[in-house]
Amino acid sequence: MALKLVKQNKAFGGWVKQFKHASSATKTEMTFSVFLPQEAETSKVPYVMYLSGLTCTDENVTTKGNSQKWAAKHGIAFVAPDTSPRGAGIEGEDESYDFGTGAGFYVDATTSKFSTNYNMYSYISKELPGLLESELPLDGGRKSITGHSMGGHGALIMALKNPGMFRSASAFAPIAHPSACPWGEKAFTGYLGEDKTAWAAYDATELAKSYDGPVLPILCDQGTADEFYEKKQLLPEDFAAVAKDRENLHLESRMADGYDHSYYFIATFMEDHLDFAANYLKK
């Protein structure tokens, strides 16, 4: 088996398991956690992949996100990958919270310094699903994707760049227009270089303009008390303005009064997002 089991805990009739494996995409050891519902003991189950935000690992949402209860309710698995390679040893990768370690931004880097290891787009869209579906009882034909902040950006671009791969997509406070906000400008310059035309390939708002795949249902939640929303780091309105004119993007965009950017916000609305995914995974 290509996966090394690190630990496991019984939860809601199923199991939360953490695995490590050698990644060909990042040339490092990668870690992910997965909740397998009771149904996975006898058959393959659909799954939701959750992409985390800046500074997070696989364990943040696993311990704080309130996901296992609602995944168990629907008999679906919940997969939480890490946010970047770890221990690549690249000069400067540990100098700031919003670039480098813990901040892979779900792109395939093209700058010489980062292109060997920082290939989180390929890891999430190709390598990890292939590994999950070959080594665990997961149904590759029934999967959805969600994420928070940087991971919300990741979830949206994965679904938009791979039409038909995911039954649905959702996001909690996504960085929805990274080319136009400080977080995205810093990350894209470091990973993709100065040419801003290359950034569009990893920008949900730009990708939505030309999306021509099958109908993609999308749910986005944004807290009104989110400090990063107030600082114009997220820009969900930009994405919504484009999506409303695309017949094959069915976006439900909601503002959550008083909620911030934390896992209190995520835990509150996790049930809604897993209900949303399950609606399409069970068809």
- E strands in 107-243: 138-147, 169-172, 216-223
Look-up of token digits 């996790």: 270
Euclidean distance between CA atoms 103 and 83, whole angstroms: 6
Phi-psi bin for 76: left (phi > 0), alpha (psi -120 to 50), beta?
beta
Catalytic residues: 149, 226, 261
The answer to whether residues 33 and 3 touch, using CB atoms and an 8 Å cutoff, is: no
Query: Residues 61, 65, 67, CA angle at the centre, nearest 5°?
Result: 105
How far, in Å, CA of 58 to CA of 77, rounded? Answer: 15
Cα-Cα-Cα-Cα torsion 85, 87, 91, 94, nearest 10 degrees, comes to 80
Task: Give the span between the Cα atoms of 2 and 110, in whole angstroms.
Answer: 28
State the DSSP string of 61-100. Answer: HHHHS--HHHHHHHT-EEEEE-SS-S----TTTTSBTTBB
Name 161's Cβ contacts closer than 8 Å, sequence gap at least 6: 121, 125, 201, 207
